[in-house]
Amino acid sequence: MRLAAQIVVAYLVLLVLSAVWRLFPWSELVPDIAVLFAAYLGLTAREKAAPSVASAVFIGYLADLLFGTPAGLIAFCSGLTCSACHLIQGRLLVRGSIFTTVFSCLVALATGVLTILIRSLAGLLPPGWSGELGTLVLSALITGLLGPLVFRTCRFVDSRFARTRRERDAAASGMIG
């Protein structure tokens, strides 16, 4: 139920973002919210990563549909992000706004580079793709700034599905992993 709730919250955030973001003057600098949800799911996956990875792929697929990207691109990147975050969850404590911002920015940069690599291999990059790198950096910065808000929202959902008071307090305070 926790993962289903995270998917619903991610869908609502993506839906609002896809509708509202185009109204801003910097509409080409879209934050990678799906990857932030995928990173959170990977960091909070306990023993089994498969349900979290499947949820991250589903969130990425919803982002593909809403943002009009090539089918499966964000879904693939979200799945890889979730898997990578699950692998590093024991060695990393993501806590505090500054570290969450930096971590979100780095995750967005890594995912953006992967996206550009996939698009170049598929022949989907425009001829003058050097502007893509500048857009990537600025989008990663915006994603980093929204990272603490997304993680706080995810922790709020997790605290509602905690079984014990100790788990509820840990989720509400930001103890990930």
Sign of the C-alpha dihedral computed for residues 34, 74, 86 and 137 taken in this order: negative
Tokens matching residue 156: 């709020």
| pLDDT < 50 regions, the chain | 177
Per-residue pLDDT, 177: 45
Q: Which residue, chain included where needed, has tokens 């990059």?
A: 125
Q: Hey, is 24 helix, strand or coil?
A: coil
Inter-residue contact 57 to 27 (CB < 8 Å) = no
